[in-house]
Chain A
Amino acid sequence: MRLLHLLSAVLLFPSALTSFVAAADTPESVQLDNDYDESLLLKTLPGNSVLASFRFVSNGTFNDHHHTVFPRSLAQILEHSNARELHLKFSLGRWDAEQWGAQIWDGHTGGGTGVELWAWVEADDDAAADKRWTTLTNALSGLFCASLNFIDSTRTIRPVLSFQPEGHHANPDRLHLLHGGLPREPVCTENLTPFLKLLPCKGRAGISSLLDGHRLFDAQWQTMSIDVKPVCNSDGSQCRLQVVQTVDMVLDVERSLQRRDSPVPKPRPLDQLNCDPTRSYGSGDNCFPQSNLADLPWSLSEIFGRPLHGSCPLGTTDVCVVAPADRQVFASQASAEIKTGDKRCYTLPQKSDFDLLLPRQSPPLPIEVTPPPLYASRSFTGHGQERGGVQAVIRNPSPTETVKMIYLESLPWFMKPYLHTLKTTIPNSLVDLYYRPNLDRQRGAHLEAALEIPPNSTLTLTYDFDKSVLRYTEYPPDANRGFDIAPAVITTDKGYQIRTTSLLLNLPTPDFSMPYNTIILSSTVMALAFGSVFNLLVRRLVGAEEVPLRGQKLRGLVAKIKRLGEGKRKAE
């Protein structure tokens, strides 16, 4: 025990020293950010929802053995697998663009449903890159408690247009971009736990103390993302590795407040319902509930279920609220407010709890929502178990601007698209098309299309595909549920990224008791065949007239006895 203490003291001391020295001798060359920053952005959304965006930025060195705030476990994995830039996303739910508008951070923190991972791996050739990618996915699966090791060659693609490296790389020619996703992967507390452990304050202080799995996974939409990239200052002399961890979620205020009162959501009694009197059938006992006529009051500790434990002493912490300028916001004492437009930011106290309160606002204030550059949805068409079609509907709401975008689709190998059936409803909208056909059990199809959508119009992209029949052992244990197809990724030329929802593909599913039925049926046939042949061989066939009639023997016996008796009498 003592040895451990001494060891930790020795290990910690030089690291503390280096960070101190670094801060002291490079004051002017630090356009590079601080070692650690965290910020929480809260934004009221229409329909009594609140968007909470947590952002943690840590900077560290890559090849050094001293890790101050940069998570060491992650650095080791990156070094071991030669990954130079990494993006990992865990997401649940759907971003309702119609109601909430454009996604925060231009959609760069949001991933596809389940888990999505892409990385730039440095390697000599494709085979080496594949090997390192496998190392990376396996290591990450251990670190984040997710089945990332299932991202094998059938789920990996090399996108051409959609993703560009964000960091400053020394030799970009040697980087291989690999991308994979697991749309079926559940996201839960076991993924949040390692996520929080990467943070310097480990969820004990600062904004991360608000993060509670019980509220995060109760959200309407949530995403956790980890982005690692090297960043250099302007002359490229000093480079550091930056990890940006974000958690974005949309909380339903009404639901969160209900959780506080009773853990089980129960319908409200009739007298507390907000009935719509304009409905003709809404009289007496009937009630047509109407959305809330007021902005509900909420506070940080109420919607997150726990208070914010001061700021993280290892870096700067700030909390900002974006709400209509007229809405009142109360912050707890010992915090200063800085107001810019409809954004209000607060500095946090060091060692005491912090809370924010937004009181009830009736009637609700109109909330301005920035429309996204595109709306997108994707669905299956067709019927039957043999073939089907995919239809992606993409709408450009802008009245003046043409939007250039890239549509990326990564399909599993058992979904075989026909490229000649790829059609767009707007003529000449297809600018470029990249395609890599699937190979059974080896790789999935990869489709990337550069499209142009004129202002105020809707583009429908369709294609047909064939469904493969899997082998008996290739079906998952819950095959009848269907197979999840990864979301399509849409990237506009201005860098905004959206993802469609994942799809559920039904494949022809055998009856899994089939082998047993087959065994039973064939056994029956064999038994019948064997039985009849055996009968023929062993039984002796006798003609009907050859067989003595029934009772003939008895009668013969009786006759004999009679004859005997007669003989005796004669003898007497």
Chain B
Amino acid sequence: MKLRITTPIPTLLFTLFALLLQLSCVHSQHTSNWAVLVSTSRFWFNYRHLANVLSMYRTVKRLGIPDSQIILMLADDVACNPRNVFPASVFNNADRGLDLYGDNIEVDYRGYEVTVENFIRLLTDRVEPDTPRSKRLLTDDRSNIFVYMTGHGGNEFLKFQDAEEISAFDIADAFEQMWEKKRYHQMLFMIDTCQANTMYSKFYSPNILATGSSKLDQSSYSHHADNDVGVAVIDRYTYYNLEFLENNVKNASSKHTMKDLFDSYDTKKIHSDPGVRTDLFHRNLDEVLITDFFGNVQNVETDGVGEDEKWKVDVSELARLAANITSPKKQQKEIKVEELKGKAEKKISAFKVEEKASWTQGVVGATALVACALAWFGGSFMPK
């Protein structure tokens, strides 16, 4: 009797302990990394905004996030712009050491597609049914997302395409919807625009770490211009972020933390007061690796016990897959919904314009004229 009561208690305790352990680890667990990089400015003189975004694109790609998990939005084409002296190249430094456009780039939203509506649709995944995968943010509750935005902005708004604005409330609500739909695990929001810190002031969803280039009533400045390109090539805040990332985060196994990055911000160099918002983010910044957001998850396989077992599992899994592959015909028959194989109905077509002077037309015309004349005469002879 006594035994029957006591046995469940240690097991219960053990499970509780295990649960607690899991809970304590839960913060550092993510299984995929995504990046949403947005340049909202149109026109050639906003070259630096594209360069900002492309610099971030190169950085996240360097640290291992594949193109399929990067959503790149460029509101204008500067690389192949006729004004560009260097066709198909974008530089973020006057030394022109690195071509950001390079040989391999995938722009997911470009030109007129970069709108407030599309941006919010992308975040909340409320897209048209035909939208291809490359234009969707296919994240889940285990995905860390890095959102980087740059453009021209003001107090609690950011301009898109010089024609419309997104407000701080819009972004905050979109993020809340993402949280409700379990579309992210943790998020880093970084913005480089005038009065940028106002843009994250309205956030209210958990697990968002936010940083911006300048506080309320402060402009965000460009770093330097390239005389051959003819315009400024990068903004200060992004420049010093990149400098830190290039010099310190050499590869995806870097142990630098977000605190190191934020501590590197120097108001004297940036010419504005960069801000960091941590109240929604319940982790110590010195425990958060930069690669949690800028790099991709590294899946490491360890050699050890049960290796042979795993191998057998792999083989049986492959055999199952192979069986499916080698008998595709059976599957095809199930999927294919055959249509009526009759002749297609084609009603929409341009019509043939013809001018035919046939005698029937003449007769009809003449008859109509005569009838009118008769009616008129008849009317004038009518007694009053």
Cβ–Cβ < 8 Å partners of B339 in chain A = 124
Contact with A along B110-143 (1 / 0, CB 8 A): 1111000000000000001011111100000000
Cβ contact within 8 Å between A187 and B80? yes
Identify 7 new A-B residue pairs, CB closer than 8 A, beyond the known A189-B80, A212-B103, A214-B87: A2-B311, A10-B318, A143-B132, A189-B105, A190-B106, A263-B86, A446-B350
Question: Which residue among A14, A65, A446 has the maximum number of chain B CB atoms within 10 Å of its CB?
Answer: A65
Interface residues on B, range: 35 or more
Of the stretches A96-104, A169-177, A337-345, the one at the interface is A169-177
* Chain B contacts for A432, CB-based, 8 A: 352
Q: Is A271 at the interface (CB under 8 A from chain B)? A: no
A120 → chain B, closest Cβ, in Å? 11
* A434–B351 touching, CB < 8 Å: yes
Residue of B nearest to A139 (CB): B132
Contacts of A123 in B (CB 8 A): 344
**B126 nearest CB across to chain A (Å):** 16
Please give, as numbers and ranges, the residues of chain B lying within 8 Å of A193 by CB-CB distance. 103-106
Complex contact A186–B108 (CB within 8 A): no
Task: State in angstroms the CA–CA spacing of A380 and B318 once bound together.
Answer: 64
In the bound complex, do residue B353 and residue A434 qualify as a contact, i.e. CB atoms below 8 Å apart?
A: yes
Query: In the complex, which residues of chain B have a beta carbon less than 8 angstroms from the beta carbon of A264?
Result: 85-86, 228
Interface string of A183-195 (1 = CB under 8 A from B): 0111111100110
Q: Does B348 contact A (CB under 8 A)?
A: yes
A330 to B299: give the CA distance in the assembly, Å.
Answer: 52
From B99, B105, B301, B343, contact of A174 by CB (8 A): B343
B106 pairs with A147, CB closer than 8 A: no
Contact B340 A124 (CB under 8 A): yes
Contacts of A263 in B (CB 8 A): 86, 96
Residue among B89, B128, B299 facing the most chain A CB atoms (10 A cut-off): B89
- With the chains together, A448 CA to B88 CA distance in Å? 37
Query: Pick the contact of A138 from B130, B161, B299 — CB < 8 Å?
Result: B130
Is A7 a contact of B318 with CB atoms below 8 Å? yes
Q: Using Cβ atoms and an 8 Å threshold, which residues of chain B touch A188?
A: 77, 79-80, 88, 101
Q: Is B346 close to A, CB under 8 A? A: yes
* Neighbour of A434 across the interface among B130, B299, B346, B352, CB < 8 A: B352
Name the residue in A122, A126, A145, A216 with the highest tally of chain B Cβ atoms < 10 Å from its Cβ. Answer: A145
A63 to B336, CA, bound (A): 12
Known A-B contacts A126-B345, A190-B107, A436-B349; the reply to A218 vs B128 at CB < 8 A is no
Known A3-B317, A147-B110; contact A214-B88, beta-carbon cutoff 8 A: yes
Known: A126-B347, A213-B88. A435 touches B353 (CB 8 A): yes
Q: How far is the CB of A169 from chain B (nearest CB, A)?
A: 12
Q: Interface size class for chain A?
A: 35 or more
Q: B185 contacts the other chain (Cβ, under 8 Å)?
A: no
Q: Does A557 contact B (CB under 8 A)?
A: no
Which of B14-22, B260-268, B322-330 binds A? B322-330
CA distance A209 to B230 in the complex (A): 32
- CB pair B163–A6 under 8 Å, yes or no, is no
Interface residues of A (CB under 8 A from B): 1-3, 6-7, 10-11, 14, 63, 65, 92, 122-126, 129, 134-135, 138-139, 141-143, 145-147, 149-150, 157-158, 160, 171, 173-176, 184-190, 193-194, 203, 212-214, 216-218, 263-265, 419, 432-436, 446-448, 476-478, 512
Known: A11-B325, A125-B345, A478-B43. A213 touches B301 (CB 8 A): no
Asked, given contacts A135-B130, A263-B86, A478-B43, whether A213 binds B112 with beta carbons under 8 Å apart, the answer is no
Query: When chains A and B are docked, how far (Å) is the Cα of A192 from the Cα of B104?
Result: 9
Chain B neighbourhood of A512, CB < 8 A: 163
Known: A65-B328, A188-B77. A217 touches B88 (CB 8 A): yes
Q: Given A1-B299, A65-B325, does the pair A145, B108 have CB atoms closer than 8 Å?
A: yes
Q: Out of A3, A143, A190, A265, which one reaches B85, CB within 8 Å?
A: A265
Distance of A92 Cα from B102 Cα, bound (Å): 20
A145 touching B110 in the complex, CB below 8 Å, given contacts A7-B321, A10-B322, A265-B85: yes
The distance in angstroms between the C-alpha atoms of A520 and B344, with both chains bound, is 57
- A263–B162 alpha-carbon span in the complex (Å): 32
Q: Which residue of A lies closest to B307 (CB)?
A: A2
Decide if B356 is an interface residue (CB 8 Å cutoff).
no
Alpha-carbon separation in the docked complex, A124 to B345 (Å): 6
- From the candidates A171, A203, A216, name the one contacting B341 in the complex (CB within 8 A): A171
Q: Is the CB of A434 within 8 A of B350?
A: yes
B152 on the A face (CB < 8 A): no
Q: Which of A1, A150, A216 contacts B88 (CB 8 A)?
A: A216
A139 touches B110 (CB 8 A): no
Q: Complex Cα distance A1/B163, Å?
A: 47
User: A138 near B131 (CB under 8 angstroms)?
Assistant: yes
Cα–Cα, bound, A477→B348 (Å) = 33
**By CB atoms of chain B within 10 A, which of A122, A187, A203, A433 has the most?**
A433
Residues 305-337 of B at the A interface (beta carbon under 8 Å): 311, 314-315, 317-318, 321-322, 325-326, 328, 332
**B318 engages A134 (CB within 8 Å):** no
Contact A126 B346 (CB under 8 A): yes
Q: Which residues of A contact B48 (CB under 8 A)?
A: none
B128 with A138: CB separation less than 8 A: yes
Beta-carbon contact of A190 and B353 below 8 Å: no
Closest residue on chain B to residue A131 by CB atoms: B130
The 7 listed contacts between A and B (C-beta, < 8 Å) are A126-B346, A142-B135, A150-B112, A158-B350, A173-B344, A190-B110, A193-B105
Residue in B87, B105, B112, B350 with the greatest tally of chain A CB atoms within 10 Å: B350
CA distance A565 to B339 in the complex (A): 121
Q: How far is the CB of B363 from chain A (nearest CB, A)?
A: 24
Question: Which 6 pairs between the two chains have the least Cβ-Cβ distance?
Answer: A142-B132, A186-B77, A188-B80, A138-B130, A477-B163, A477-B161
Let me know if B42 is at the binding interface, CB within 8 A.
Answer: yes
Q: Which of B59-113 contact A (CB under 8 A)?
A: 77, 79-81, 85-89, 96, 99, 101-108, 110-113
Residue of A nearest to B311 (CB): A2
Whether A145 and B350, one on each chain, are in contact in the complex, defined by CB atoms closer than 8 angstroms, is: no
- State whether A433 touches B352 (Cβ < 8 A): yes
Interface residues of B in 19-74 (CB under 8 A from A): 42-43
Please state if A1 and B301 are interface contacts (CB–CB under 8 Å). Answer: yes
Chain B residues lying within 8 Å of A212, measured Cβ to Cβ, are 103
Contacts of A446 in B (CB 8 A): 350
**Shortest distance from the beta carbon of B240 to any chain A beta carbon, whole Å:** 27
B345-384 CB contact bits vs A (8 Å, 1 = yes)? 1111111110000000000000000000000000000000
Please, how many angstroms separate the alpha-carbon atoms of A188 and B132 in the complex?
Answer: 20
The listed residue with most A CB atoms (<10 A of its CB), out of B113, B314, B339, B346, is B346
Find chain B residues with CB under 8 A from A135 CB. 130
Q: Are B301 and A147 in contact (CB under 8 A)?
A: no
Taking CB as reference atom, which chain B residue is nearest A266? B228
Say how far B334's CB is from chain A's closest CB, in angstroms.
14
